[in-house]
Amino acid sequence: MAPGEVVSRTGTRFPSVVAADASAIRREVLKRNPDAVAIEEAQFFGADLPGIIEELVAGPRTVIVSGLDQDFAGRPFATIPELLARADEVTKLTAICVSCGAEATRTQRMRNGKPASVSDELIVIGGMGGDDTYEARCRACHVVLP
């Protein structure tokens, strides 16, 4: 992989850009005018993302969005619920629970080796919140301290 591109497992290469916010996505798409746009980590963009995606889809073009639907406490994450409601098609992927091997639908935040508290900040950038790690967990194994 080189800067400015993403590469599929089959070796297909696509141009990519890092977007600081949703308006940067709009700006890049309008400049390049692609037939399709893929947006990763959508949960980290602001409340303007759904409206901007509606503009981009009207292009017309295909917009594929991926993101976490729940935060570490199991709460709906940012604008993902709205994006799910507006989407023409939804695919919900799961992982394998690291504790029991069941289907994992949740993200477990561990802080210094213990489950995080529901009162912890939502987004931790660059480890500023301590020694945080994230694990895939099923509903039964997902723990959030009060």
**In the annotation, is 41 catalytic?**
yes
Scanning 11-19, 23-31, 46-54, 93-101 for contacts with Zn ion by CB under 5 A, the matching segment is 93-101
Burial of 21 (0-12, 13-18, 19+ CB in 10 A): middle
| Candidates 26-34, 114-122, 123-131, 134-142; binding stretch for Zn ion (CB under 5 A) | 134-142
Residues 63-92 contacting Zn ion, CB under 5 A: none
Determine the 3-state secondary structure of 66 from DSSP: coil
Q: Pick the binder of Zn ion from 64, 100, 122, 145 (CB under 5 A).
A: 100
97 lies in the binding site for Zn ion (CB under 5 A):
yes
| Least distance from Zn ion to the Cβ atom of residue 39, Å | 30
Residue among 60, 30, 71, 56 at smallest CA distance from 39? 56
Specify the stretch interacting with Zn ion by CB under 5 A; choose among 18-26, 87-95, 105-113, 138-146. 138-146
3-state secondary structure 10-50: CCCEEECCCCCCHHHHHHHHHHHCCCEEEECCHHHCCCCHH
**Distance in Å, CB of 120 to Zn ion, minimum:** 21
- Which of the residues 5, 28, 40, 41 is marked catalytic? 41
Dist. CA 103–CA 138, nearest whole Å? 6
Which of 102, 110, 124, 143 touches Zn ion (CB under 5 A)? 102
Amino acid at 71: D
Q: CA-CA distance, 1 to 99, in Å (whole number)?
A: 33
Task: Tell me whether residue 56 or residue 97 sits nearer to Zn ion (CB atom).
Answer: 97
**CB contact at 8 A, 19 and 41:** no
Residues classed as catalytic: 41
The contact set with Zn ion (CB under 5 A) reads 97, 99-100, 102, 138, 141
